[in-house]
Amino acid sequence: MLPKINRLKKKKDFEKVFRQGKGFKEDFFYLKVSKNNLGLVRFGLITSKKFSKKATERNKMRRRLSELIRKKLPKIKKGTDVVIIAIPGAEADFKKLEDIISKLFKKAQILNG
């Protein structure tokens, strides 16, 4: 689970990322990236009912994404807000998800080095 300090919680924060952020797509995920002035990395995860009607499947995807992000947190540039949206059909094993998220982060250029 992501630490509370690294989570986007408020609606206005999500709206700011959607308004000002740049978008990137890879397989079944869409990523929006925006700068913040906090010196922190914050993530928001969206898995809507379009993704799956079953709450257990949506929560499972959220937990998997959260764990992948938590592992990569030290490598991500500070001062970034990121929203990841799961698109319907994103049913993959953990290793494949890890590869997709790595590609997405590289494409968005939010990794250090």
Kindly report, residue by residue over 64-113, the tens digit of the pLDDT.
999 999 999 999 999 999 999 999 988 778 899 999 999 999 999 999 87
pLDDT surpassing 80 at residue 50 = yes
CB 75: neighbour CB atoms within 10 A? 12
pLDDT the model gives residue 93 = 84
Residue bearing tokens 């494949």? 96
Looking at residue 60, what DSSP letter applies? H
Structural domains of the chain ordered from first start = 21-108 (3.30.230.10)
pLDDT the model gives residue 113 = 72
pLDDT digits (tens, 9 = 90+) for 9-29: 999 999 999 999 999 999 899
- Chain Cα centroid distance, residue 19: 16
Looking at residue 23, what DSSP letter applies? E
pLDDT the model gives residue 71 = 94
